[in-house]
Amino acid sequence: MHSYTEENYLKALFNLANDKGEVSANELSKRLEIKMPTVNSMMKKLAEKKLVNYESYKPLRLTEKGKKEAGLVIRKHRLTEMFLVQKMGFGWEQVHEIAEQIEHLHSPYFFEKMDEMLGYPTIDPHGSPIPDKTGKIDWTHYEKLSDCKPGEIVKLAAVIHTTDEFLKFLNSRELHLGLKIKIKAVEKFDGSMVVAYNKKTAESLSHTVSERLLVEKM
């Protein structure tokens, strides 16, 4: 079993991972608001436990085992959020703090009961997919960017048809996972989109591109 602290590191690693599954120690340090040396030694500890691949001066990556453990914590978090909203009447903006605490409880019965009462939901109140009992995420609940409407703000969650050329194209446009994108307009005649992200205020993406990008609504 992992400590409360370890679980938080795993969760952060999972959430910060880019398309290659990499996270820098610095990002992790900032996200967790924990100083670098502490993060560094925790990474060595998690590496000992085969949860993280750690090599000096290289980016961090969760192992398969680490991904699974992280997925299970995220499962508990999202199940809890859904329970708080659906069964207890909280607003979706109120539930994160509470779920951050409940996700660390050790009680299979409790989470199974919530799951059952909710009818085995697959997404949380914010639309994020709930990992299954093995910690795996079903990505099918993400939407194609091409199906989104002007005004929406989305987070880039996955890329499909990952050919070399396509990924290079994404790199050249600085389109990386986790990116917040605002949809400014959709052209009727060819389905192309005008979007804003980073410091760019009006980038155009063809329909061919936008239907290969999966996003999470925010």
Partner DNA sequence: GTAATAACTTAGACGAATCTAACAAATATT
Partner DNA sequence: AATATTTGTTAGATTCGTCTAAGTTATTAC
The stretch among 41-49, 99-107, 131-139, 140-148 that binds its own copies (CB under 8 A) is 99-107
Distance, CA of 210 to CA of 213 (rounded, Å)? 5
Distance, CA of 47 to CA of 44 (rounded, Å)? 5
The stretch among 26-34, 82-90, 109-117, 201-209 that binds DNA (CB under 7 A) is 26-34
Q: For residues 191 and 200, is the Cβ–Cβ distance under 8 A?
A: no
Q: For residues 134 and 120, is the Cβ–Cβ distance under 8 A?
A: no
Shortest distance in whole angstroms from residue 115 CB to its own copies: 12
Shortest distance in whole angstroms from residue 67 CB to DNA: 20
Give the CA count within 13 Å in the CB-facing half-sphere of 14.
23
21 in contact with DNA (CB under 7 A): no
Chain centroid offset of residue 101 CA:
19
Nearer to its own copies among residue 26 and residue 162 (C-beta): 162
Site for its own copies in 162-181 (CB under 8 A): none
89 in contact with its own copies (CB under 8 A): yes
Nearer to its own copies among residue 109 and residue 189 (C-beta): 109
Q: Which does 179 bind (CB under 5 to 8 A by kind): DNA, its own copies, none?
A: none
Shortest distance in whole angstroms from residue 168 CB to its own copies: 16
Q: Which two tokens stand for residue 45?
A: 């500890």
143 in contact with DNA (CB under 7 A): no
160 in contact with its own copies (CB under 8 A): no
Contact with DNA (CB under 7 A): which of 19, 21, 34, 203?
A: 34
Contact with its own copies (CB under 8 A): which of 29, 86, 94, 122?
A: 94
> What is the DSSP track for 10-75?
HHHHHHH--TTSEE-HHHHHHHHT--HHHHHHHHHHHHHTTSEE--TTS-EEE-HHHHHHHHHHHH
